[in-house]
């Protein structure tokens, strides 16, 4: 049965969306088909997150999709497809590295509004996330934060300042717990 399904997917790869889901993002088999179908329906029929050109969980929201720079590697796209209840507000920009893994409930907020006039968006540096970063469930990253490569952020953390490469951080506000020695440097 699995070989038949693979054969059908390979046959229908001339259709761009199936080619992306199957060949480029490698989502079939990792993401349940029902979830992909519901997410597609929310984007195409209901118009929620319509400008998003990759699979996004139907309970997640992206504001300012044009200001997000990222690679389309399978780990990052798989996280967007599987992790629900996420909020990405990219009015000042979000830059995401390769192999970005995140759990449900993650919030990336790249801008604040003014105190006196709530309609004015305050300028800030974009959020920068390095390669091989893992965000636990419920992590909140605030404007102007840069997270280095090979960083693990513990669940429920509120990241208010930048952190270097190869660290494990957690807490509210987040602080360095220890060095990330699980990554082998060459």
42 touches 55 (CB < 8 A)? no
96 touches 76 (CB < 8 A)? yes
Q: Are strands 152-153 and 68-69 parallel, antiparallel or unpaired?
A: unpaired
Active site residues: 113
At 40, which helix (H) or strand (E)?
helix 33-44
- Distance separating alpha carbons of residues 133 and 130, to the nearest angstrom: 6
Phi-psi region at 146: left, alpha or beta (left = phi > 0; alpha = psi -120 to 50): beta
Angle at 61 between CA 167 and CA 70, to 5 degrees: 50
The tokens for 26 are 């490698």
146 touches 167 (CB < 8 A)? no
Helix (H, G, I), strand (E, B) or coil at 19: helix
């Amino acid at each position: 049965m699995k070989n038949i399904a693979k054969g059908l997917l390979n046959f229908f790869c001339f259709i761009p969306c199936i080619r992306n889901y199957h060949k480029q993002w490698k989502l079939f088999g990792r993401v349940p088909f029902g979830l992909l179908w519901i997410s597609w329906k929310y984007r195409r029929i209901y118009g929620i997150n319509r400008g998003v050109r990759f699979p996004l969980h139907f309970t997640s929201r992206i504001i300012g999709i044009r200001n997000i720079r990222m690679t389309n590697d399978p780990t990052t796209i798989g996280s967007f497809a599987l992790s629900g209840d996420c909020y990405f507000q990219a009015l000042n920009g979000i830059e995401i590295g390769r192999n970005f893994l995140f759990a449900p409930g993650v919030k990336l907020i790249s801008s604040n509004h003014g105190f006196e006039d709530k309609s004015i968006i305050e300028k800030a540096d974009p959020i920068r996330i390095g390669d091989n970063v893992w965000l636990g469930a419920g992590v909140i990253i605030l404007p102007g934060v840069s997270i280095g490569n090979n960083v693990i952020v513990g669940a429920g953390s509120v990241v208010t300042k930048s952190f270097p490469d190869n660290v494990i951080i957690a807490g509210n506000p987040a602080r360095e717990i220890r060095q990330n020695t699980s990554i082998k440097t060459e």
